[in-house]
Structure formats: C-alpha cells, structure tokens
Amino acid sequence: MEPTRDSRVLVVGAGQAAGELAGALRAGGHEGHVTLVGSEPHFPYTRPPLSKAYLRGEVAIAELYLRPADFYRDHDITVHRGVAVEWVDLHGRRAGCDDGSVLDWDRIVFATGGRPRRVADPGLESAGNVHYVRTIEDVERLRRTTIAGSRFAVVGGGYVGLEVAAVLRRLDARVTVIEAADRLLARVTSPVVSEFFLRVHTQEGVDVRLSAQVELFQVEDGNVSTVVLGDGSRIPVDQVLIGIGMVPNDEVAARAGLDVDNGIVVDEFCRTGTAGVYAIGDVARHPDPLNGGLRRLESMPNAAAQARLVAEDILGRGRPYNDLPWFWSDQYDVKLQAAGSSAGYDTVAVRGDAMSGRRFSVFYLRDGVVRAVDAICSPADFAAGKALIASSAVVPLSDLQDPSVPLRRRRSFTSEAS
C-alpha cells in the first residue's frame, strides 16, 4: 500500500508496543486517526518492572505508564480500554469488538502480546492461591497476599520465576523453585550462567529443585496446600506462582486468515502477507538475521524497536528490522544484561570470576565470531559485547577471557567480513 499521512491506523492491543507505535506515528507527522484497543483497563504501560520494582512496592502505577493520559487526548489518539477485538475482516477493513463496536481501518497493527502459559490442571483454575505474573492486576493480587513468612512454590526456573523468587525472598517469604530441566535458565543461557544463578539463589535461601516434575497440586478448601513431585517429595505451600513461559495472543489473527506459527508471521518490515497489515512485539514471528529462519522475541526493547519501525513504514520511510536483540534481568543485587543470540554457539569465553564472585561476563562464539554476551554486573562488557556482535568481530579467546584487555579497543580485532 502507498503511504498516506491521513490513513486510519487501528492498533489491536494497548501495551508497550502499541503505545510506542502511537507516539512514533504522531512524532513522525501522521495526521490520520490512530486508535488503540486493549483488553486491560489501563493506558499503555511497561511490563518489566512488574516482577521487580512494582512487586517490591517501589513504584506506583503512574510510573509504569509510558505517557500520561493527557498525551493521548492532546495528540488525538483514541484508546479503548477494557475492550477486546474479537474479529478482523481483512478485505472489508473492519474490526469488531466485544462491546459491539465496529471500527474501520486502512492499516491495522497487531500488538496483542501474549499471556502466561497455564498449567494443564483443571483444579488450579479455581484455586485461590495460584498466581501468574503478566499484568498490573496479577501483581496487585500477589502483593495482597501475606508474603512475609509465607511458603511460596515457584514453578519454573526461567527469568520471571527467578525474578519473582528474588523479590519474595527480600520480602521474607520462604521460597521453593521447581524447575523441570536439569539447570536454571536452561533454554536461554549457558551452564556457567545457570550455575551462577543457582549459587546466588541458594545463598539467598531459596530451595531450588532441579529435574523436578510436578506430579500433583493437592487442593484443600479451595487452595493448593501441597505440591507433590514425581520423586514423591511433598512441598507444603501457602502460595503458588506459575512461571513456565508465555503463549502469543495470535488467535484473532488466525481467525482472520493471517499466517500464524507460534505468533503472527511477518517479513523483515513486520508486514504480514496482507497489504496494510502488521504485527509487532511479543506476538510477531519475524526473520532472524543472525541465525536465519524465524524467531519471536519476548522483550521490551524488541517491542519498542518494532513499533518505531512500523511507524516509519506507515509513513513511507520503512527499513528492514535487523536490530540487535538485548535483554536484562534484575535478581537481588545482580543485573544480567544479555545481547545477541547464543543459539548454535560452539565456544564460550568467561571473563572474570564466575565461580565465587558476582561480576563476570560470558561471550558466545560460533566459528570464532562473537555472537552473544551475558554480562553479570558488567555494563562495560555489555556495551563492548554489543559492538563486537554488531560487527561480527573475531576476537582472540585470550583477550575475551582477560579482564585487563579493553574490549572497546576495536582496532585490535578483525571482523568476519575482513
């Protein structure tokens, strides 16, 4: 479709990606209607603080919002809150909502995000002490529980589970983390980083159970009272938190006839196969310039970057999406900053003391080229690592492993292309 500054843009979803897109459209000079439709009762907000500062009670709801409510009024952006899009007619360019309203559009952007993966146990749906963390309401409900001294079972040793476990320990809860894999963060990082976080959480008083399968959630009087593991272990609990991943909200797109495969499939411009139809953020499955194939990234930086890219495409200044993926996680006094993609790495270089300290970095290489970095309390290594990854640098292992060698001295390194 030809770009027009007065086209009607409908955004399905009202989270971070949607809010960033609306702001970028107006900043870029778009003059047409911009409408956001989101099922939550909030204006667009950022989610990363939910499992960290917001759970700790250190920030207010207003501080989560991307922009104050007045921004949307002043910039003529309509935000339908507490409303869900139920169907989209791609040919008639209309969308129907659960409140009975029908919206016309010239361009539509799916920014529907995802929802927590549920445990396939009907008994848990009605249990009053089972928690998931995805929305403001989820965290407020968790905060209303009596945390100090409570026995929490955290099912899932990924980022969300570990971040919440860290906050719960700081609030004097007794925490057991139950992970089905043989190490923490097994799907996203290397054994050396997994071992580090196992040590940290153990030192902080968390009971970590690895290679542990939940056999049964025993429910009594409407609450889970005991988690029974496959080896027969019984863990008495007061509260249960489930953190076993996210499911993309792609059902409306699938019913509309778009290509869906663990997310909405898009090209390098975040365009679907239908003209004028896009998908961004956690729900978008897009080409992976680092490893080939398709990938779906669940991160705030990715959502914001794709929102800006689609705004530019609507305004006629599109470019392929090839931003370097990056992410961070806060647990206790530890900040992990990760960049790149470690998929298929064949060599690991550890820089610093990973065995007893809380400051080191891990670089991932494939065929001698730096592909990813996990920086633990090492912002300088994170910044240098991003530059090395972006330039496909070939760095001697001895330099990566030696903290006395300044990695930002780029002239001493070569690139894959040279």
Q: What is the pLDDT of residue 1?
A: 62
Residue 395 counted as domain residue: yes
Token pair, residue 208, equals 């970590």
- pLDDT digits over 136-191, tens only? 999 999 999 988 899 999 999 999 999 999 999 999 999 999 999 999 999 999 99
For residue 238, count other CB atoms closer than 10 A to its CB.
18
Digit-coded pLDDT (tens) for 240-253: 999 999 999 999 99
Q: Which residues pair with 213 in a beta bridge?
A: none
Same domain, 81 and 45: yes
Q: pLDDT class for 125, splitting at 50, 70, 90?
A: confident
* 253 shares its domain with 140: no
For residue range 347-404, what is the model confidence (pLDDT) as tens digits? 999 999 999 889 999 999 999 999 999 999 999 999 999 999 999 999 999 999 999 9
- Total-model pTM: 0.94
**Number of structural domains the chain divides into:** 3
* Residue 56, domain extent: 9-115+247-314
CB hemisphere CA count around 161 (13 angstroms): 31
Specify if 142 maps to a domain.
yes
Q: In sequence order, what DSSP letters do the residues of 46-114 get, joined into one string? A: --GGGGTTTTTT-S-HHHHBSS-HHHHHHTTEEEEET--EEEEETTTTEEEETTS-EEE-SEEEE---E
CATH of the domain at 202: 3.50.50.60
Sign of CA dihedral 185, 190, 191, 196: negative
142 and 103 in a single domain? The answer is: no
Phi-psi region of 112 (alpha: psi -120 to 50; beta: other; left: phi over 0): alpha
- In terms of domains, do 75 and 14 share one? yes
pLDDT at 89 exceeding the cut of 60: yes
328 within a domain of the structure (yes/no): no
Q: Is the pLDDT of residue 413 over 80?
A: no
Rounded Cα distance, 212 and 354, in Å: 25
Q: Is residue 48 domain-resident?
A: yes
Mean pLDDT of 230-247: 97
Q: Which two tokens stand for residue 209?
A: 């159970």
Asked if residue 111 and residue 251 are part of one domain, the reply reads yes
Q: Is 4 contained in some domain?
A: no
Q: Give the mean model confidence (pLDDT) for residues 22-35.
A: 97
Is position 177 within any domain? Answer: yes
The amino acid that residue 163 corresponds to is: E
Is pLDDT of 64 > 80?
A: yes
- The 10s digit of each residue's pLDDT in 191-215 is 999 999 999 999 999 999 999 999 9
Please give the pLDDT value at position 253. 98
**Residue pair 282/113 in contact by the 8 Å Cβ criterion:** yes
Per-residue confidence (pLDDT) for residue 417, from 0 to 100 = 44
Could you give the CA distance from residue 391 to residue 413 in angstroms, rounded to a whole number? 10
Res 295 pLDDT > 70: yes
Residue 237 falls inside a structural domain = yes
pLDDT band for 418, please (50, 70, 90 cuts).
very low
291 in the same domain as 234: no
Q: How many CA atoms lie within 13 A of 134 on its CB side?
A: 20
pLDDT at 409 over 60: no
Nearest to 158 by CA among 290, 296, 282, 331: 331
253 lies in the same domain as 111: yes
